[in-house]
A = this chain, B = another copy of it.
Amino acid sequence: MSETHDELLDRLGEAARRAARQLAVTDSQQRNQALETAAQAIRQQAEIILAANRQDLDQAAERGLSGAMLDRLRLDSSRLEGMAAGLEQIAALADPLGRLLAEWTRPNGLRIERVAVPIGVIGVIYESRPNVTADAAGLCLKSGNAVILRGGSEAVASNRAIHRALVAGLIEAGLDEAAVQLLPTQDHEAVGSLLRAHRWLDMVVPRGGKRLVARVQAEARVPVLAHLDGNNHLYLHPSADIDMAVAVIANAKMRRPGICGALETLLIDEQALDSVGAIIDRLLALGCELRADARLCALDGRLRAASEADWDTEYLDAILAMRSVAGPEQALAHIARHGSGHTDGILAGDDALAADFLARLDSAIAVHNASTQFADGGEFGFGAEIGIATGRLHARGPVGVDQLTTFQYRVFGQGQTRP
């Protein structure tokens, strides 16, 4: 009888656990060497990877995938070089392991350290972009975690070729090749087995669209680090400098309207309505559709009427919802009701009021006088990120290599016994 999905996961999981134990005690140099040799292997095996990718592209075209999907799937020498350089950049980051997070001595002389250690085994489930294979493996490896990868079925040949290059790097650095494993089947039910493998997996990170994230959150029996929505808000307070506000709003919405940190609803204080014209001018000039409440629509005929559903919509597109509010309290109430806890903020000249507003937001990232599009691990200075988390435990906001660690207490005594 052939292996069931649960048996497959037991086999991969046990190997991953063994590799994780080895990784946890490697030094930074050995993990960096694996990243660097993996980068070299990607360059050396470029032709093989690109040939595998052409195979994926041909099959995807036959299956009628959209142009946007094909573009996400496509690799070329520049994208391959980006992947290799990305691994080298991860190698160059400071070692997230062994950081002394806290240290104190008890009255009885016990010295207690809180030290960063790897999480263990991480599952990463992603969609069509094959570069995630290298990025996710690199971030997990850097942070001493073994990883089990499950990429999209349309990228299966590309992912296998990239995985082979990564394994070459592991072997050359003397690491267990099970530190980076690729789920060897595209069977949809194998993902279910992966999500239920709490004996072997310490965490799952889904990277992809809302449908993927929702499935992972619904089915996982292990902790999930992810965000489902980025329905982000800015509240314009009358104390804000209008030129600053217009520039930040335009950037927050239109720099890249499709990313999770993009602004989706602008809340405008009733005392700041004389700024509305300048904001509308700028956004319309950038090609943004504007949907507003009745009060704003009455002020400016260029606005379309918003419906209730607009307040709950993450457009991920060149569309902005606008609503007038009576003041900070009403703005906070709107965000509490409609927000997704990702990134929200305030535009205000009054610093004390702004600090209070941020403290009252229940969002992973709260911003004052800056674009919501700074919600990004690179912009936070984390070097690279595996995603943004909006859950409340362990990590919130950008998840970089430090956030892929947990900690251990180390207690040093001189023979102390407890009375």
Contact = CB atoms under 8 A, between A and B. Distances in A.
Contacts of A272: none
B418 A373 contact: yes
Nearest to A363: B408
Contact of A406 (B24, B25, B366, B396): B396
Contacts of A250: 417
A355 B111 CA distance: 12
A148 interface: no
A106 B381 contact: yes
A369 to B, nearest CB: 4
A411 interface: yes
Contact of A409 (B25, B364, B371): B364
A25 B359 CA distance: 7
Interface string A276-295: 00000000000000000000
Contacts of A408: 358, 361, 363-366, 396
A115 B355 CA distance: 12
A40 to B, nearest CB: 30
A371 B416 contact: yes
A418 B255 contact: yes
Nearest to A259: B418
A24 B369 contact: no
Contact of A370 (B374, B381, B411): B411
Interface string A97-124: 0100000101000101001000110000
B393 A202 contact: yes
Interface stretch (A28-36, A241-249, A320-328): A241-249
Given A379-B418, A418-B373, A392 B406 contact: yes
Nearest to A17: B336
B251 A417 contact: yes
A362 interface: yes
Interface centre among A115, A360, A369 (most CB of B within 10 A): A369
A334 to B, nearest CB: 13
B223 A415 contact: no
Interface string A55-81: 000000000000000000000000000
Interface string A363-389: 111111111011010011100000000
A203 B413 contact: no
Interface of A: 21, 24-25, 98, 104, 106, 110, 112, 115, 119-120, 202-203, 223, 241, 244, 247-248, 250-252, 255, 336, 345, 354-355, 358-371, 373-374, 376, 379-381, 391-394, 396-397, 406-418
11 contacts: A119-B392, A244-B414, A247-B415, A247-B417, A251-B417, A255-B417, A361-B408, A363-B408, A370-B411, A374-B413, A374-B416
